[in-house]
Amino acid sequence: MAFDRKDISDEQLLEFYRRLLYPRLIEEKMLILLRQGKISKWFSGIGQEAIAVGATLALEEDEWILPLHRNLGVFTTRNMPLSKLFMQWQGSQEGYSKGRERSFHFGNREHHICGMISHLGPQLAIADGISLAHKLRQEKKISLAFTGEGGTSEGDFHEALNVAAVWDLPVIFLIENNGYGLSTPTSEQYRCISLVDKAKGYGMDGVQVDGNDILQVYDTIKGVRDYCIRHQKPYLIEAMTFRMRGHEEASGTKYVPSHLFDLWEKKDPVKNYEDYLLKNGLLTAGDIEKIKNEMKELIEAELAAGSNTSAVIADTEEELNDLYAGQTHTLPVSLIDNSNHDHDFIGGTVELRYINAIREGLHQSMQQHSNLVLMGQDIAEYGGAFKITEGFVSEFGKARVRNTPICESAIVGAALGLALEGHKTVMEMQFADFVTVGFNQIVNNLAKIHYRWGQAADVVIRMPTGGGVGAGPFHSQSNEAWFVHTPGLKVVYPSTPADAKGLLIAAINDPNPVLFFEHKALYRSVSGQVPTDYYEIEIGKAKHVRKGEDISIITYGSGVHWAEEYAATHPHVSIDILDLRTLLPLDYDAIRAAVQRTGRVLLLHEDTLTGGIGGEIAAWIGEHCFELLDAPVMRCASLDTPIPFSIELENNFLAKSRLASMVEQLMRY
Ligand SMILES: Cc1ncc(C[n+]2csc(CCOP(=O)(O)OP(=O)(O)O)c2C)c(N)n1
């Protein structure tokens, strides 16, 4: 191999050698420990080290890297102590994820590393968000995200590159093309000649490099970094290399023709670089021997220290506590409503429609938080599909009120990247139905990141939801239950204008990921007095909205209005109504009190019956309040079908059409 040192000093060349050798020697040791059963799994990067090490050396230490499972060289070059890494790999509580995550699936703020989730592609868009933060603050920094060639087939690759290109974000996307994605060769992965050719399609530049040449990797990425900062643009790099071992150690390499190993062994990045240094008189055989011996001694010492860990002791309270980030930003007590009755604020009130209350909450939050960014399709000049952000661009500027391409997954990922850099984001899902294409980012990245490695995901996703508007199966769904089932999220669902404003402000102040459901049919049909203050309704507090003696209807969203309408038109039944307001976490005290008030409970929701929240609450009541019941808990929900378009069919679908008969049935029991 012909190395070109350019203007790299002798000292640097030697430093590079040590950096390159270290992960190789660690891996060789790991393979022994794996055979001895001391670690459970190993994804080898042997033969690919020059990419991870070269890339990390080319960046500033405070620039985020998003590495993958074969990139030990990123972690070692960022000087993470091997002892602690070893604790991580053993699943020890003293590792980087308190024993909650495996191998390299963790991040660390101190080292500016955001680790992968197993799904590979989703991390690419996180880099978009990080670089957006740098761009907004006019910092001369980039972020760098790794992907394998297999990962480029995922939709997330496309979305992340497209968003970076459209928004002119200084991100380096680095493809490590090692020939195989598990057993799948490149010929079964893509049809283009080179993956770097894809750059053109996104309107960005790209280059292919020899990934086994550390000097070429380093020099290219250094130059690309300068380019990205200077031109404020992303860049695609394809580094050609080869996976010298199995996908992971247990899976073998039978599917790889043996001549490929012979070929690539000759291109070994460590051996060739070593020979280059020898040939140029920068190292002697004696030096190499000495360096290797010292390094092996260091590795043994680090592993000994890393083995000295206490046994994992599961502490359920800590497990549950670490699900959510603690709140640091708090309002004065006078501006927080944590009662479950009516608001009592100092400022006056004004009559607002539900939609305008949401707008006001968003508007006041934009004024309060200069680091708050809004993202969504058509939300800028157009004002959003429902016009909630109309006029925001002229007041807050296009940098903070961002139109997005139709890339839901990438935008959720970018929101997480912004959070890594201390921003808050409110993303508008144009319709709650479209969350399906951003689902993975929400349930696996946003929801789990704090539990996995202590990083808050300060993101609110607004979800215009619900039926009753004749919009058919894909513009009417109630999909809150999907998210209630996901630990780590918060799910909020206001039914009144005053709650909508206060809960939205609370959601934005909350550093955790909040799914904020707003019912489209309520937007313009419901009005009410709304405090003019900037105030919060506490998340997790239900509201007792009507006192009654016969039946407690526990509900939320449009269900509250259906229940109130029923109560008003059926004075012979004394209806008690509890508006849950937050679905995750649920207000169990308020639920118990509602059961206690009447002994008969009807759970009412617009969502379909099977697997809906009603079933969960009914189970809880059965377990905890059995002695308070005079009748079985009943559920009134929508039909277990998609939401039909025709008004007659939709009316029949909605739970409201069965409310009266369910109340009568419960009364008769
Ligand atoms: C969404 C998803 N599908 C499938 C897998 C299973 N899987 C894990 S790694 C891998 C191969 C990845 O290949 P590549 O991106 O080329 O990276 P490499 O392992 O070669 O470094 C597969 C199929 C996964 N983790 N995530």
Is this model's pTM higher than 0.95 or not?
A: yes
Lowest mean pLDDT among 308-317, 335-344, 350-359, 647-656: 335-344
Question: pLDDT tens digit string along 395-438?
Answer: 999 999 999 999 999 999 999 999 999 999 999 999 999 999 99
pLDDT of residue 17: 98
What is the 3-class SS of 78-113, one letter each residue? CCCCHHHHHHHHCCCCCCCCCCCCCCCCCCECCCCE
Query: In which band, very low, low, confident or very high, does the pLDDT at 334 lie, cut at 50, 70 and 90?
Result: confident
Give SS3 for 215. Answer: helix
The rounded distance, in Å, linking the Cα atoms of 311 and 90 is: 11
Which two structure tokens, joined as six digits, stand for 26? 């660690």
**Angle 123-136/408-420 helices, nearest 10 degrees?**
60
Ligand 1 test: best mutation among 105, 120, 159, 441, most atoms within 8 Å of CB?
A: 120
Q: What's the rounded mean pLDDT across residues 5-17?
A: 97
Query: In which band, very low, low, confident or very high, does the pLDDT at 525 lie, cut at 50, 70 and 90?
Result: very high
The average confidence (pLDDT) of the chain is 96
Task: Give the residue numbers annotated as catalytic, written as ranges.
Answer: 475
Q: What's the rounded mean pLDDT across residues 474-478?
A: 97
pLDDT of residue 40: 84
Task: Indicate which atom in ligand 1 lies nearest the CA of residue 70.
Answer: 21
Question: pLDDT tens digit string along 588-612?
Answer: 999 999 999 999 999 999 999 999 9
Indicate the Cα dihedral angle 201, 135, 208, 187, nearest 10°. Answer: -50
384 closest CA partner among 523, 526, 582, 496: 523
Task: Indicate which atom in ligand 1 lies nearest the CA of residue 177.
Answer: 16
pLDDT of residue 344: 60
* Burial class (CB within 10 angstroms; exposed 0-12, middle 13-18, buried 19+) of 310: exposed
Q: What's the rounded mean pLDDT across residues 454-480?
A: 97
Query: In which band, very low, low, confident or very high, does the pLDDT at 204 lie, cut at 50, 70 and 90?
Result: very high
Indicate whether 339 pLDDT > 70.
no
**Nearest 5°: CA angle at 498, between 493 and 503?**
45
Question: pLDDT tens digit string along 18-55?
Answer: 999 999 999 999 999 999 988 888 999 999 999 999 99
Which residues are bridge partners to 407 per DSSP? Answer: none
Are 542 and 340 a contacting pair, CB within 8 Å? yes
Q: How many helices (H) and strands (E) does the chain have?
A: 25, 23
In the reported structure, the alpha carbon of residue 192 is separated from the centroid of ligand 1 by a whole-number distance in angstroms of 19
pLDDT of residue 340: 54
Minimal-distance CA residue to ligand 1 atom 17: 148
Ligand 1 test: best mutation among 247, 249, 264, 444, most atoms within 8 Å of CB?
A: 247
State what percent of residues in the chain have pLDDT above 90.
95
Hey, how many other C-beta atoms are within 10 angstroms of the C-beta on 36?
Answer: 8
Q: What's the rounded mean pLDDT across residues 186-215?
A: 98
Q: What's the rounded mean pLDDT across residues 368-383?
A: 98
H or E element, residue 356? helix 354-368
Minimal-distance CA residue to ligand 1 atom 13: 181
Q: What's the rounded mean pLDDT across residues 166-176?
A: 98
Question: Which residues form ligand 1's pocket by a CB distance below 6 Å?
Answer: 70, 118-120, 148-151, 178, 180-182, 243, 247
pLDDT of residue 39: 86
| Omega of the bond leading into 257 within 30 degrees of 0 (cis) | no
In the reported structure, the alpha carbon of residue 191 is separated from the centroid of ligand 1 by a whole-number distance in angstroms of 18
Name the phi and psi angles at 336, rounded to 5.
-120, 125
Minimal-distance CA residue to ligand 1 atom 1: 119
In the reported structure, the alpha carbon of residue 211 is separated from the centroid of ligand 1 by a whole-number distance in angstroms of 19
In the reported structure, the alpha carbon of residue 625 is separated from the centroid of ligand 1 by a whole-number distance in angstroms of 47
pLDDT of residue 328: 74
Q: What's the rounded mean pLDDT across residues 140-156?
A: 98
pLDDT of residue 627: 98
